[in-house]
Structure 1
Amino acid sequence: MTKNTYKELIVNSVYLYFGQGINFILPLLVLPYLIKTLSSQSFGIYSFAFAFTQFSLLFVDFGFNISATKNIAENVLNPKKTKMTFWNVTSVKCFFMLVSLLFTFTILLSFSKFSYYKEAVLINFITVIGTILYPTWLFQGINKLKAMTIINIISKLITYPFVFIFVTNSTDFLQAIFIQSLSFLVAGLLSLIYLIKYQKFLFEGGVYNVKKHFMKNEIKDSFSIFLSNSSISLYTNSLTIFLGFFYTPNSVGIFSSMERLIRTIVFGVLAPINQAAFPIIINLKKESLPQAKDFFLKIFFFVVTLVVLVYIFIYFFNSEIINKFFHQYKNSESSIFIYFAAIIFPIAMGSVFGQLGLLGLGNELQKKIFSRIYIYIGIFSLPLSLFLIYKLDYLGAIYSMVFVEFLVFIVMGYFVKKYKFL
């Protein structure tokens, strides 16, 4: 590996860590404030809306954040190919957004149990519109991570302070949802301005070469990733949906506050290095598979070290964390967090094994295996989650999530080892 490659990784990682630091710090400021300000029922509705919207985001993204990134990174010196991918992927995402909106209306109107979540879910749909305008897959593919990070930071800094201004009593959950959703729309508008100014070739001549067979090819390329991501969502966001269906928003609030804090911590640490490393591994593999494997090994040990350090911090400062974030809950509820936090290891390493290992280093066979792992485990987790939640309330959701994340980590690790990527 050349010095320029290491320099590229370090520079991109620094920008992404800075941006992720904003993503990490602001939710850590907002989350305890919302838990303190909103009633347990309001926070449950707030959490349900975000969980429900994840299904729409999942459908609209359709795995393009990996497949389109890979496609553009492999053809970064071919402006026509990049432009064609951009417009065809964007067109597909717009169509999927309309389908998703129709589906959302149908579900909300069909189940009376979801009636008091209706306004919150519809307001949060602004997030879906924003993600279409903010093409992270394009920024990653053309290696403009600095610009992506700056846009992300500005959008958060513009919008998040309004949470503390307009969310002031226990029933202001709609205001909280609108403000946080607005950050995605602002990011989308800023990214559109950036692309028009600095990536003019994308817009010269208007919409470029959007045809049904090209759109179908984009869908086909990302379909296996979409299936795996759908399965991931089955055992993550479905837990909140099941809790909202069987129990009160209070149960949703207890589980969601812990789960969201843990995932904020994990992806605050992991996402920047994954985003920076993925296109580099793709390019290295084209030149030399051994070099790409060596790079993957270094990333693996780096992530292991980070995760261990994070858990050590949580373990020794658990009382301060519990007092700050979960002071409104019973002692038996808040103390569960320290044990639940151990899940950060399988979440982080399962992601590294899957995205950087099987997808980054692998070929079509490993891509199919990656997809099938999540599909089978996701399907298997549904009856398990339903049973545990029905019997044990929010504790059932916690037990289900811990079991499934460890299972994904073990199976991903097995195949990474089998194909000698590690």
Structure 2
Amino acid sequence: MKALKYFLNTIYLYLAQGINLIFPILIYPFLIDKISLEGFGIIILLQVIMNYGTTLVDYGYNLIGTNEVSNSKSYENLASIVSKVLVVKFILLVLSFLMVFVSVFFIKPLQGKCEIVFLGWLNVVGIGLYPIWYFQGKEEMQLIGIINLVSKLVTIVGILLFIKGADDINLTVFFLSLSSVLCALFSWIYIYVRDKLRFSLPTPLEVISDLRIGFSIFLSNILVQLYSNFVLIISTGMLNTVEIGILGVYLKLRDVFVSVIGPIQQAVYPELSKLINSKLVKKTRELIRKTLFVLFSISIITSLGYYAFFDYINKLLFENNAEVLDMLAFLCILLIAPYGGLITRVLVANKKNKFVFLSTFFSGLFALVTSHIMVYKFSLKGALYVIFFSYLLNVVMGSYFLIKKKL
């Protein structure tokens, strides 16, 4: 029965992510053709900056909130959890607005482009308020799929109908943000109508307590963004516009891969949390081993697929500007990327948030220190090397903490 539940939850999440996989296939080649690889690179740069805002607003609640909801004991307790999360997120949204708009002054391709930055920030609002943690905690993954499908279809139709050329970059960003805003809106309408949770204003002490609990995870997630995407921001001063566009496409291909493995990690996390809280060590280790095997298999298959179809991908997405060596460096990232997410979930479920912070801190520090040197010396390949070695360092340190604490 447990295996069937994991399977069904994973299927539901794949239905949710399926549109996320189809979306790049349908839209990215179209956008590159309409707004050029350089224009697409600007959009990816903007999205990277917005990821920092999204990470701030999330504040680790996709893990903490899921854990709390899955272990809630009563209607009143569930309503209290939701109320606290919403209050904290609205506070963080204000801070994210201030943080995101700093980029207008310091990042050259976005200087003076307040309108496109604001449209991009709407994506932060949508993703930040999307209660995926609520649905995961209640193990209602099918709802995520339905809501995600409807909102993505609206975006796809809008882009295909209204994006005509390079002058439509702002409109493109609006449609990309619209998807996440609709996800959040549809979700909260559904929760309000079905569950009728009564909102209660939490006390300042409750808000501060939640902020303290999530702080280590927030710092860790920010550092993950640092070593995953900061190199693109650094590269704007050293790579030409075509190379920035190529790097941006690689980052999006990585995100597509994360969309493939994400549902597996999300599906096992609630049960993983319960097993760890119940101190069922053998069952926990068995679940971890099986999940790692599946993740590794997907990594191998995906990497072989990207390599086998390199010529087609190069023509479709890179306008024949990519090199095989760049692709090989990218495939190394895909082979190591899945493990960090699962290790983080195990540590969080064990309430070892400081370990999560330490592993990502040193990985982020490595990216920060080496990005400029590596990009200057090795150009585009250097940027990909930084991402790979940062991922590797994070996985090695996280694994060390697990082994040391016999988790």
TM-score band by shorter chain is over 0.9
The CA deviation at 1:110 is 5.9
Note the alpha carbon deviations across 1:272-301, whole angstroms, 9 max, x for none: 011111011111223323222222221121
Q: Does 1:341 align with 2:331?
A: yes
The farther-off stretch of 123-132 and 241-250 is 241-250
- Counterparts of 2:177 and 2:368 in 1: how far apart (Å)? 28
1:283 paired residue among 258, 264, 274:
274
User: Residue 159 of structure 2: SS of its match in structure 1?
Assistant: helix
The farther-off stretch of 97-106 and 110-119 is 110-119
Aligned position for 1:239: 231
Inter-CA distance 297–312: structure 2 relative to 1 (3 Å threshold): same
| 1:247-286 map, 5 Å | 247-265=239-257, 267-286=258-277
2:394 paired residue among 386, 389, 408:
408
Q: Does 1:13 align with 2:4?
A: no
Tell me if the contact between 2:314 and 2:320 (Cα under 8 Å) persists in the aligned partners.
no
Tell me if the contact between 2:246 and 2:322 (Cα under 8 Å) persists in the aligned partners.
no
The CA deviation at 1:15 is 0.7
Tell me if the contact between 2:83 and 2:200 (Cα under 8 Å) persists in the aligned partners.
yes
Tell me if the contact between 2:13 and 2:142 (Cα under 8 Å) persists in the aligned partners.
yes
Q: Work out the number of aligned pairs and report it.
A: 406
Tell me if the contact between 1:88 and 1:215 (Cα under 8 Å) persists in the aligned partners.
yes
2:364 paired residue among 358, 378, 386:
378
- Counterparts of 1:257 and 1:417 in 2: how far apart (Å)? 36
| 1:326-337 map, 5 Å | 326=318, 328-330=319-321, 332=323, 336-337=326-327
1:353 counterpart letter in structure 2: I
User: Residue 235 of structure 1: SS of its match in structure 2?
Assistant: helix
Tell me if the contact between 2:13 and 2:263 (Cα under 8 Å) persists in the aligned partners.
yes
- Counterparts of 2:275 and 2:231 in 1: how far apart (Å)? 38
TM-score, scaled to structure 1: 0.90
Inter-CA distance 74–116: structure 2 relative to 1 (3 Å threshold): same
Tell me if the contact between 1:50 and 1:121 (Cα under 8 Å) persists in the aligned partners.
no
TM-score, scaled to structure 2: 0.93
Aligned position for 2:385: 399
Q: Does 1:367 align with 2:353?
A: yes
Inter-CA distance 150–382: structure 2 relative to 1 (3 Å threshold): same
1:85 counterpart letter in structure 2: I
Note the alpha carbon deviations across 1:77-134, whole angstroms, 9 max, x for none: 3221211111111111111111221233344246666415543222111112212432
- Counterparts of 1:159 and 1:124 in 2: how far apart (Å)? 14
2:306 counterpart letter in structure 1: I
Aligned position for 1:316: 308
Question: How much is the aligned-residue C-alpha RMSD, in angstroms?
Answer: 2.0
Q: Does 1:101 align with 2:101?
A: no
- Counterparts of 1:62 and 1:386 in 2: how far apart (Å)? 28
Identity of aligned residues (%): 26
1:317 counterpart letter in structure 2: F
1:226 counterpart letter in structure 2: F
Aligned position for 1:297: 289
User: Residue 165 of structure 2: SS of its match in structure 1?
Assistant: coil
Aligned position for 1:196: 192
- Counterparts of 2:54 and 2:396 in 1: how far apart (Å)? 27
- Counterparts of 2:141 and 2:182 in 1: how far apart (Å)? 18
1:121 paired residue among 117, 122, 128:
117
The CA deviation at 1:413 is 2.8
- Counterparts of 1:155 and 1:349 in 2: how far apart (Å)? 30
Aligned position for 1:306: 298
- Counterparts of 1:330 and 1:286 in 2: how far apart (Å)? 51
2:141 counterpart letter in structure 1: L
The CA deviation at 1:418 is 3.5
2:44 paired residue among 18, 41, 47:
47
Aligned position for 2:167: 171
- Counterparts of 1:172 and 1:274 in 2: how far apart (Å)? 37
Q: Does 1:59 align with 2:56?
A: yes
- Counterparts of 1:317 and 1:212 in 2: how far apart (Å)? 55
Tell me if the contact between 1:263 and 1:344 (Cα under 8 Å) persists in the aligned partners.
no
User: Residue 168 of structure 1: SS of its match in structure 2?
Assistant: coil
The CA deviation at 1:166 is 1.4
Tell me if the contact between 2:151 and 2:180 (Cα under 8 Å) persists in the aligned partners.
yes
Q: Runs of 5+ in structure 1 lacking a partner?
A: none
The CA deviation at 1:338 is 3.9
Tell me if the contact between 1:156 and 1:183 (Cα under 8 Å) persists in the aligned partners.
yes
Aligned position for 2:216: 224
Tell me if the contact between 1:19 and 1:153 (Cα under 8 Å) persists in the aligned partners.
yes
The CA deviation at 1:372 is 0.7
Inter-CA distance 40–269: structure 2 relative to 1 (3 Å threshold): closer
Aligned position for 2:21: 24
- Counterparts of 2:229 and 2:322 in 1: how far apart (Å)? 26
Inter-CA distance 33–310: structure 2 relative to 1 (3 Å threshold): same
- Counterparts of 1:189 and 1:331 in 2: how far apart (Å)? 39
Aligned position for 1:350: 340
- Counterparts of 1:48 and 1:15 in 2: how far apart (Å)? 31
The farther-off stretch of 110-119 and 63-72 is 110-119
Inter-CA distance 242–117: structure 2 relative to 1 (3 Å threshold): farther
User: Residue 221 of structure 2: SS of its match in structure 1?
Assistant: helix
The farther-off stretch of 30-39 and 174-183 is 30-39
Inter-CA distance 132–400: structure 2 relative to 1 (3 Å threshold): closer
Tell me if the contact between 1:133 and 1:191 (Cα under 8 Å) persists in the aligned partners.
no
Tell me if the contact between 1:26 and 1:160 (Cα under 8 Å) persists in the aligned partners.
yes
The farther-off stretch of 385-394 and 49-58 is 385-394
- Counterparts of 1:228 and 1:100 in 2: how far apart (Å)? 17
- Counterparts of 1:277 and 1:331 in 2: how far apart (Å)? 37
2:88 paired residue among 92, 97, 107:
92
